A and B are shown apart, each in its own frame.
Chain A
Amino acid sequence: SQQGEEDPQALSIQEGENATMNCSYKTSINNLQWYRQNSGRGLVHLILIRSNEREKHSGRLRVTLDTSKKSSSLLITASRAADTASYFCATRGPPGYSTLTFGKGTMLLVSP
């Protein structure tokens, strides 16, 4: 069963706007990761945040983690048409359990 659940399932915005996607999970984690998948392609790692971190930035990406609420958010600022893709959160369990469990993803459409 999925550990992470993304919200919303789909998001449609205009270029230049910000996009926010949320992820909720159920059990304790070692880290949480976000991946992007373009249509017909494999997943590409975007950013990782550890359980003892609250916020992380990478370029136009900002990730937050609230372990008390078991939730994370991914913010893409100043979106571009090239950001159109599906975005997945993935959780890795406590130390010793090394598999990544993925949510079902948020499909983001950025219109020019």
Chain B
Amino acid sequence: DARVTQTPRHKVTEMGQEVTMRCQPILGHNTVFWYRQTMMQGLELLAYFRNRAPLDDSGMPKDRFSAEMPDATLATLKIQPSEPRDSAVYFCASGPGQADEKLFFGSGTQLSVL
């Protein structure tokens, strides 16, 4: 079964540390999304890539967050420096790039910043 793979599944870190989350989209998918899920805000879109090019990162705090796609098989989301308010579950999703595409989600990275 093709699936989106995210690593790590869990991350506990101290405030001020750098956090890197990785995502392997489904082979052949050309859209990649990063979402953050919290109880208060629900699912928030952080970044969106199409054919590895960033198209929308308006939901991402620019001063500390960065998202990249070094190649078609890897997407990364970095937080530097991390803060306690960044504690959340971060999901990566990929899609085939059609107008009516459905998204395939990874299992998420649960981040706790102490």
Whether B33 lies near A42 (C-beta < 8 A) is no
Q: Interface residues, chain B, CB within 8 Å of chain A?
A: 4, 31, 33, 35, 42-43, 45, 48, 50, 55-56, 91, 93, 99-100, 102-108
Smallest Cβ-Cβ distance to B110: which chain A residue: A40
Whether A33 lies near B107 (C-beta < 8 A) is no
- Chain B residues whose CB sits within 8 angstroms of the CB of A41 once the complex forms: 107-108
Task: Show 18 A/B contacts (Cβ-Cβ < 8 Å), sorted by A.
Answer: A2-B42, A30-B99, A31-B100, A33-B102, A42-B4, A42-B107, A43-B93, A50-B100, A88-B43, A92-B99, A98-B31, A98-B55, A99-B33, A99-B48, A99-B56, A100-B33, A103-B42, A104-B43
Bound Cα distance from A50 to B101, whole angstroms? 11
- Chain B residues whose CB sits within 8 angstroms of the CB of A103 once the complex forms: 42
